[in-house]
Amino acid sequence: MDSVPRMTSTDMKPPASDRELRDQMVSRLIEMGALRSSGAVAAFRKVPRHLATPQTDITKTYGVEDAVITKTDADGIQLSSVSAPRIQAMQIEQADLHPGQRVLEIGSGGVNAAYLAEIVGPGGTVVSMDIDRDVTARAERFLKETGYDRRVKLVTADGEDGAAADGPYDRIIVTVQAADIPPTWIDQLVDGGRLVVPLRMRGMTRTIAFVRDGERLVSDGFELCGFVPMQGAGENRVRLLLLHDVPGEEVGLRLDGHPEPNQGALREALHMPSVEAWSGVTLAGDESNEHLDLFLTTVLENLPLLTGTAAARSRGLIASASPLGVPTLVRGGSFAYRTVRRTQDPDRFELGAIGHGPEGAELAEALVVQMQSWDRDFRDDRARIDVYPAGTPDEKLPEGGRVIDRPHTRVIISWP
C-alpha cells in the first residue's frame, strides 16, 4: 500500500491576519487604479472593515469586488449593504477629499464613514445618515468598537432632506442609488463643492462626481456601478416587465420612465424567429461598453434594458444575459437589443443587434447605425452630464442633449 505523506508544521500556512488581508486588498486596489491618493490608501490600510460584518468570512470582507448584503426585505430585495472596497475607493477618489473638509454621507454602514474620517482628519467633520434605524445602529456599533464614534456623527433620518444643521458641506457622498437629486443636496453643498452620487439615468446607474456651479451641477467624471436603491421620499425604483415568466428562465424589460410597452405583443415577439445585424465595430475583450450604452440611450428614444437569466440564454430565448440589462430598442410589438460575437481575433468582439417581431430587422439596423456613429464620431469622447432645477426652460439647457425630467431636476446628457 502506498503511504500517505504527512503534513508537517512547515507545510501548513497559517491563515492571513486581518492586517495582511488589508494590505493585500490595498495592493490590489492600487493595481486596479481604484486607489490613487495617499490619504485614501492610508485609510484603507488602517480601518478594520471586517468588524462591521462579523458573520461574514473575513476573506470575503476584504475581497475587492465583494459587497456584503446586510439587510433585505420580505421579497429578497436588497435594502442595505457594505459596498465592495473597489466601489468605496472609486467614490472616495471621485470626491477628491482633503483634510479639514466637512463631509455628509447619505447611506450609512460605518466602514465608509470611518474611511472619510481618516482622510479629513481631526480638523474635519463627517456626518453619516440613513433612514433605517437598523442600519445606523449597526454603524454605531462598528464606529464605537473601532474608536471612530468620536469622529463621526450618525443621524437617523431620510437622506432626501440632507442634514442642514451641520452644513454646508464641502463634499456630499451618496452611497445608495438615486433617481433624482433633491434641492436640499445642492443647497447644503458649498459652491464649487463636489457631490458624488450613483445616479440612475434611463435604467443605467453611474456614480457621478458633480461640481456645484450656482444652481446647477456639472459632471467631472463618472463610473459604471450598482447600488441598493434609495428608500423614503426619494424612492423611485425600476419596474420589471416580464416577457417570459417560466421560473428560472425569466426574460424582462427594466423600465425607468420609458413609455408603457405592449407586453402581450412583445411576449409574442420574443418567441418569433430572430434576425441579426452586425456593425463591423469591434471592442477588445477587456474594453467596457458602458460609454457606448450611454451614447445609445442618449440618441435613441425608447431604450429600456433587456435582462434575462443564464438559463434563458442557454435555451436560446436571448443571446445576452445580464443582471443589469442591455439597451433594447422597442417599437410597438417589436424590439432589438445590443449583442456581440467573436471575431477571428480572439481578443476582439463585433458589436451587433438581434431583433424580434415584425419590425425586428428595422430596429436592429437602427441600433447598428448608431453603433457605427459612436465608433466614427464619439468613441474617444466622454459624455457630459448637467443637472438643472426642474422648471428650467429648454432654452437655458445645453443644446443637443438628452433631457431626463425628474420631479426635482432636469438631467441633460450631451456629447462633444
The helix (H) or strand (E) run that includes residue 28 is helix 18-32
Query: What pLDDT does residue 67 have?
Result: 67
Distance of CA 151 to the CA centre of its chain: 28
Query: What pLDDT does residue 325 have?
Result: 86
Predicted confidence (pLDDT) at residue 228 exceeds the cutoff of 80: no
CA-to-CA distance for 111 and 120, rounded, in angstroms?
A: 15
Distance of CA 4 to the CA centre of its chain: 51
CA-to-CA distance for 229 and 78, rounded, in angstroms?
A: 8
Cα angle value 76/79/82 (rounded, 5°): 115
pLDDT tens digits, 4-39:
444 444 444 556 789 999 999 999 999 999 999 999
Closest CA to 240 of 249, 228, 252: 252
Question: C-alpha distances in angstroms, 100 versus 119, 126, 217, 247, 352?
Answer: 9, 10, 23, 53, 50
Structure confidence at residue 72 as a pLDDT band (50, 70, 90): very low
pLDDT tens digits, 334-360:
999 999 999 999 899 999 999 999 999
CA-to-CA distance for 136 and 108, rounded, in angstroms?
A: 6
Distance of CA 238 to the CA centre of its chain: 14
Instruction: Report the share of the chain in percent with pLDDT over 70.
Output: 89
Query: What pLDDT does residue 4 have?
Result: 44
Catalytic residue chosen out of the listed positions 80, 81, 83, 128: 83
Most confident of the ranges 11-15, 104-108, 222-226: 104-108
The residue-averaged pLDDT of 217-233 equals 72
CA-to-CA distance for 113 and 111, rounded, in angstroms?
A: 5
**83 carries an active-site annotation:** yes
Closest CA to 399 of 409, 380, 382, 413: 413
